[in-house]
Structure 1
Amino acid sequence: MGKWMRSAVWRQKQFYIQQLMQAGLTDGRERLEQWTMAELRREYERFNPAYSMEGGDRYGQTSARAGKAHH
């Protein structure tokens, strides 16, 4: 993977991590760094009301991965 692509992927991953931390996901940043891009995107879509079919009540949703070890 070229330098530009690596940088773009890293920036996108950091964006998802930052958004999840702001949404109140209880996992630490170090743990989120271990998640795949697909996992981060899936969690982001769960917590972001714009991605919810009902328009989203983001408060009260919990992470499917919170507290679980990454394999």
Structure 2
Amino acid sequence: MGKWMRSAIQRQKQFYIQQLMQSGLVNDHERLEQWTMAELRREYERFNPAYNAEGGSRHGQTSPRTGEAHH
């Protein structure tokens, strides 16, 4: 993987981590660093208000990492 692509992926991962931290859903930055990009994106999409309003089918599902039901 090229240096540019690796950098872009790292920036995107940091964006998702920052958003999840700001939302207060997960308070352990080190734990989030261990998640894959797909896991971070899935959690972000699950709790992003704009995403929930448009694609409400994910509303009420259980988080695969935390095991908590989210509404």
Normalising by the smaller structure, the TM-score range is: 0.7 to 0.9
Question: What TM-score do the two structures reach when normalised by structure 1?
Answer: 0.75
Match of 1:25 in 2: 25
Partner of 1:8: 8
In 2: Cα distance, 1:23 partner to 1:48 partner: 9
More helix by share: 2
Q: Where does structure 1 lack aligned partners over 5 or more consecutive residues? A: none
Identity percentage over the alignment?
Answer: 75
The corresponding residue for 1:42 is 42
Shift of 1:25: 1.6
Let me know the Cα RMSD of the aligned residues.
2.2
Higher relative contact order (CA 8 A, sep 6+): 1
Contact residue 27 and residue 66 of structure 1 kept, 8 A = no
TM-score by length of 2: 0.75
Q: Would you identify which runs of 4 or more consecutive aligned residues in structure 1 move more than 2 Å?
A: none
- Equivalent pairs, count: 62
Task: Indicate the residue corresponding to 1:66 in structure 2.
Answer: 66
Per-residue CA distance 1:1-47 (angstroms, 9 max, x = gap): 00000000000000000000011123400000000000000000011
